[in-house]
Amino acid sequence: MSRKALALAFLFALGGLWPAEAEEPVVDPTSWVVRVWSREHGLLRQLAERYDFWSFDWRRGFATVRVSAEGYRELEARGLLLELDEERTRVLQSGPEAVPGQLAGIPGFPCYRTVEETYNALAALAAAHPELASWIDYGDSWEKLHGPGAGYDLRALALTNQAVPGPKFPFVLLAAIHARELTTAELATRFAEQLVNGYGSDADATWLLDYGVIYILPQQNPDGRKKAEMGLLWRKNVDSAGCGSSNSRGIDLNRNSDYFWGGASSSSDPCSDIYRGASAASEPETAAVQSFLETVFADQRGPQLTDPAPATTTGLFISLHSYGELVLYPWEGLDAVPAPNLPELQTFARKLSFLNGYNSCEDALGPAGGTTVDQAYGELGVASYTFEMGTDFFESCATAEASVFPPNLVALRYAAKAARRPYQEPSGPETLSPAVSASPVPAGTPVILTAIADDTRSSSNGCGGDPAQAVTSASYTVDQPPWLASVSNALSATDGTFNSSVEALTGSFDTTGLAPGRHRLYLVATDALGHQGVPSAVFLDITASTPIFADGFETGTTAAWAAVVP
C-alpha cells in the first residue's frame, strides 16, 4: 500500500473526511471504497451480506467493498489486509468528471445513452424497420405507479422478421436491473442495432432474425438509472418503503424475484443495498419482467428442484450486470443443491467465457437469492446466465469501447445462435469464417465453399473444462437452416481426413437450378461424440443465366447480333 493510501486510510478510520482541498461537489462524503485482500470464500460471502460488495478480482485476489468509517474499523479489527481504492473513492465522493462540450449521453460518459436516449434510439429503430422490430410496453416503473407525471414505461424491443412464419426460438436479453452498472444498457442497445442494421448484409444476423425472436429489455430499472445518471452509485429501484426518501431507499430488483426469495446475500433491512423487499415480486418492475418471461418462454421444466429441463429445451435468458468479468449460471441462489442441468449450463458458459475472456468457474460472491436468472431457469427451464462485465460500475468510455463492448457483442452473437438448443449445440464445434469462392455468379457456375470447424473454443479458467474432440463431419444446407432443410450436402476436410479438433473444410457447390437472387448457405460441423455445433451462414448471390448462341456468342452482345442478322 502506498504512503498516501495509508495516510488516507488512517484519516477515514478515525472518522475523518476526505481532504478539504477537494473542489468538486460532494456526492457521498461518508463512504469509502476499499480493497479487502483475501480469496477465502467464507469471508467474501460475509462481506457481501454486510457491506456494499462491488466485485471480486479473481485474477489478483481482492474484494472491492464500499464502507463507512464504522465499517472500515470493523474490518480493520478483524486483522484483514485493507487498501484504499483512491480513484473510486474520489468518484464516489465527488462524482464523475464532466467531459467538456458534451452534448449527449450520461454526463461524464458520452458513450452511454441516457434512459431517454436509449428509448428514443430503439423506438426509432422500430419505426425505421417495422418488418423487423416492434417497440413493446410490458409494464410500469415504481415511480410511474406512485408519482403522477413521473417514472417510465418498461419497454422491450422485439426483433424478428415478421414475414417468416414460426415457430421461432426466443432469446431475452435484460439490462440495467442495477442502475449504476452503466455498460449494460448500452451493450444491449448496440446488440439490437447490430442485428437490425446487419439484416440482409450479415448472413448470421439475417438468419437469427428470420428464425428467432430476440427481445431486448434495455432499461429494467429506469427510475434508479436516472439517479445513477446524476453520478450516484444507485443500485436499487426508488421504492420509498421503510427507508423514506434517503439515497439508501429502494428494493434490489435482483433479490426480489420469486425463486429463492429471502435467500443468501439478501437483506431484510430496507436501507441495505441488497434489500429484498417485503415479499417476493413486490416491485412492479419484478412482477412485469416475470410475467414477460412467462409469456415468451414455454414452461419446460418439472416442479421439483431437481427436475432437469429436457435436452431439447429451447430458449435463452441473459441478464447483463457489471462488474467482475464473470459468467454466472444457476443456481445463483443455492450452494448445496446443483442445478439439474449443471453440466450443460457449464458447457455453454465455457463457450461464452472463451469469447469474452471472463471467468465461468469461480463465483466468490456466493449464492444470492431472488435473482432473475434463477427465476427464468427455475420456473421455465431455459438456459440462463449473468454476464458481470468489465472492471467498474462507471466504466470509462475508453475501457468500454476497447475491452467491454467488442468481446461481449461477439459472445451475445454466439449466444443467440445457440438459443434454439442451448443444452445441446454448445457441446459441438463452431463453424468459422464460411466463405464462397465467388459471388455473384450466374446460375450453373460451380462455387467452392470453405470454412473452419473448431472444437477447441472452450475456456476452463483452470477449473476443468470440455475436452476437445475430433471433428468427424461437416455439411451445408441451402436456403434453409439444418433443422428445417430436407437435404444436406457433405463437406470434406481440406487435408483429406477428419482426424483433428480443428479442421479446414471445403466443398464444391453446383448452383444449377438456383433462382436469381440472394441465397444463404448454412454450415455445421459434428464432433466424435456426435455433438453438432451452432450453424454459421454465408450469402451467395446468383445472377440470371446468359443464353449462348450456337456460334459461342452471348445473347445481347454486338458480335452476336452481327453474326445472326444479315
Does the bond joining 18 to the residue before it have cis omega, within 30 degrees of 0? no
Q: What is the pLDDT of residue 100?
A: 87
Distance CA 218, CA 385 (A): 16
Distances (CA, A) of 526 to 79, 143, 449, 522, 530: 54, 51, 17, 14, 6
Task: Mention every residue, 6+ apart, whose C-beta is less than 8 A from residue 146.
Answer: none
Q: Which residues of the chain have pLDDT under 50?
A: 1-26, 548-566
Distance CA 482, CA 427 (A): 17
Distance CA 483, CA 118 (A): 36
- All three cell numbers of 371, joined, read 435473482
Distance CA 408, CA 545 (A): 43
Distance CA 51, CA 46 (A): 8
- Beta bridge pairs of residue 137: 155
Q: What is the pLDDT of residue 528?
A: 97
Helix (H, G, I), strand (E, B) or coil at 288: helix
- All three cell numbers of 308, joined, read 432437469
Distance CA 248, CA 227 (A): 11
- Which of these, 457, 462, 545, 542, lies nearest to 502 by C-alpha position? 457
Q: What is the pLDDT of residue 558?
A: 37
Q: What is the pLDDT of residue 46?
A: 85
How many residues are present in the chain?
566
Do residues 502 and 455 lie in contact, with contact meaning Cβ atoms separated by under 8 Å?
yes
DSSP class of 238: -
Q: Indicate the residue type of 67.
A: V
- All three cell numbers of 99, joined, read 467531459
Q: What is the pLDDT of residue 31?
A: 83
Q: Which helix (H) or strand (E) holds 139?
A: strand 133-140
Do residues 409 and 187 lie in contact, with contact meaning Cβ atoms separated by under 8 Å?
yes
Q: What is the pLDDT of residue 90?
A: 83
- Beta bridge pairs of residue 159: 133, 214
Q: What is the pLDDT of residue 464?
A: 66
Q: What is the pLDDT of residue 369?
A: 94
Strands 471-478 and 383-388: unpaired
Q: How far is CA 292 from the centre of its chain?
A: 18
Find cell 455468379 and name the residue: 441
Identify each DSSP E strand in 292-341 by its residue range: 316-321, 326-328
Q: What is the pLDDT of residue 4?
A: 35
- Which of these, 406, 414, 410, lies nearest to 111 by C-alpha position? 406
pTM comes to 0.90
Q: What is the pLDDT of residue 361?
A: 80
